[in-house]
Chains A and B, each alone.
Chain A
Amino acid sequence: MNDGWRLRLQRIGAIVYKELRQLRRDRLTFGMIAGIPLIQILLFGYAINTDVRGLAAGVVDLAGTQLSRRLVADAEASQVLGEVVRLPDPAALEAALRRGELRLGLIIPADFERRLAEADPARPAVQLLIDGTDPIVGNAARALGELWAEGGRRVFAILTRFNPERRSSVFVVPGLIGVILTMTMVLFTAVAIVRERERGNLEFLITTPVAAAELMVGKVLPYIGIGLIQVTLVLALAVALFHVPVNGSLLDLYLAAGMFILANLTLGLFISTVAQSQFQAMQMTFFFFLPSVLLSGFMFTFEAMPAAARHLAELLPLTHFVRLSRGILLRGAGLAELWPELAALAGFAAALLGLALLRFRKRL
């Protein structure tokens, strides 16, 4: 281990170069890099709806009258909302929506009671702000709009933020980037080291000066690049075909995607050190893939799931990436606001890399 960094980098470079050469000749894998994103984005044109309860909501009560408090109490009693947070002004509410802390918000203007009495359709008494990045939230909130409706006249003005036309492709695509990366990145690396063991290459490699960490880094590096290419491909298609907006910074998105790719690759490496064959590695990948897709909030609204499922989902990298990519792409949020999600991904990657290194050492 007293090697200079130059030799160390040379060895990692040798593995990266070898890996890319092999990849270029592996037509199936090469096809999957482009094929999976293409097929998935073209297939996902729909979303699945379900009942929603307990949405995080905020209230800006500028009126502060007995009547306004009754409206808030009625909204809470509807069970669509969870705990309702009081906020001082509309700007704070908008910011909380952008950070993804709240799914919807009520703004009760100071002249609430007068507007209610006037009953002018152009001057609604209450504003309901909705996070439109999730269509199910929109449907649930619509039910709220029926509150206090008298004789077909609505009290609420509903404003859907971030996805005003409520198009499901807008809702699906940011999460789909994560789903595609989970599928391909975990699988590629899960198979990578098992394949070397199965073909007998590992027995030779471990008698050379290549260290375990060097082998892992060399195996992972090419796939970070490949993952970012996939992100670009899906994003380009999403913008071109489905007019998905890019409201936040692209740099933030790529940073988030990079961290997410790393988390998936380390998971793949870990699987690689546990699995005895390529087939087992594939089974384990799908064992992980299915809950990721179902629980991450990509398919079903996060709040609609029971608490146990939500806790489990917090352990899956995809859950955090779905929040990041929806936040950045649709709500225009920055990494400064979404850093806890990024930190969760980094923690996941560090933990699994450690585990993979431990497991690999033992097998030498």
Chain B
Amino acid sequence: MYLVLVPLAQLIWRTVTWGEGDRRLSPAAVEGEVTGFHWMEAFSGPSSNAMLFEPLANSLFTGLFAAVFALLLGGVLAWVVTRTDMPGTSWLRPLLIVPYVVPSFAIALAWETLFKSPRIGGLPGLYETVLGFGPPEWLSYGPTPIIITMTIHYFPFAFLLICGALASLDSQLEESAELLGASRWTILRKITFPIVAPAFAAAAILTFGKTIGTFALPFLLGQPVQYATLATRLFSTLNQGLDALGYILALVLIAITALAVYASSRVLGGNLNRFETIGGKGFKGQLTRLRNWRWPIFGATAAVALAVAVFPLLLLGYQTLMLVDGFYGFDNLTLHYWIGESDPELAEGEPGLVRNDVILGATWITLKLAFISAAICSVVGLIIGYIVVRDRGGWIAKLLDQISFAPFLFPAIAFAAMYLSLFAEARGPIPALYGTFTLLVLISVVNRLPYGVRTGTAAVAQIGRELEEAAEIQGASWMRRFRQIVLPLATSGLVAGMLVSFVGVMRELSLIILLITPSTRVLMTVGFRYAEEDQVQLGNALILLVTVLTLAGQYLVWRLGKGRLARLRERSG
């Protein structure tokens, strides 16, 4: 509570008081006094249109479209991968997740490399190099590429969520309809979809929440043509030192996401987690036969996987090998940026990746941070999920459910700012954590908690209540039950939670940038600096490093959980 509500309260408080620099906004400003000026200005001031409403409309536009496309793409792919006899699912599945693992700004960079507009000058992009003329402007910058890249980045997210629901769907439901003579399309529409609809809706909200708050993609692909969304406008205002206005934008962003969550929970009968109760029984589903369509559908899926996962990485990888950025040719290839010694002529004298102390140090810290926070986050998420499930309908459960969702709505940079002041000094029992690794862990955990809680809730919902009651009757205390019954049985959920958190922490930048000290530097902050200095090769090499490490970490976590999972499959109560 302290970790979520206090920052929120501070945020709101700042928007209704005069701050230090506010005498620039109005001569009437007296620092510390309460005022409605900021809200008036944002909503009805002379520049409220450009300041708030236009970016708001843009955010909704790109966010909604991207969410819808991501859902459709993710949903169809999830169905094809989990419910049909399409070949190659075992290697397609991990590939399809790659775009989510890759930092979002890397996708934007790849897009820029490909569809670079001749208007901005410099060396021609790949498109122009190959075709001889530049791409149309709407394809280079603005809403179209934002929606496309967001879709690419977030469809794996929807894919994962829907896969989970589909995998636990009892195929008998589908089969009985088939026996009644229903066509495959009818089955899909009338049986499969309604059953996974709640999962689908949950995926929709989470995806929308992500797309609407996305910063890097609209930032890199929108601002060259002055296309602003709430997230990028928020960043601009904070950058200009007009923090109260920025926080109002943040609150609007929070409100929209909260509204979406509320609306969907109304539609779903007030229970977001309903779908999770169908999970976990482990019915072995019969797969839909695609017959003649088997190979064409495989082709299409593989093409998607290649286009969104393999190709961007290859492109980035290729760039790291270019001695001089932008020259496509064999004589321009080098491994300098990977293994080279420091050369004052190249990359400001920075040595190649494997010799670079800064990168290596940051790698270690990043991995440590990601593992520790992912582990804590999933356990805390499990505990909260436990309370939410077991005390269903109780007010504590509801409150916890809501609060744990809140960090999801916060713009990370504002969140980080709040944490900075919250933990700067010792308050009561809470020691001053500023500049410590612990604080990084703490904020990463809280920031990732919504995901931890969602997966934790799902995991607990799958554990039959009787399993725990059986232990309760034998006199096992709550701690013991949690440790010996719930925790081991929720391993699969825990692992899933860890995977999601791990990826998130690995990629997190804005959250950490304020809290960073040289001893706590992480990969993304280093990568961000390379991007700032336009050190394309080193930057891309770093992105590849992050991607590979994330995938490796995922694999490791997955292996850890897998051994235990096998035994639990059959009868879990």
Instruction: Tell me if chain B binds chain A.
Output: no
Query: Which A residues form the contact surface with B (CB < 8 A)?
Result: none
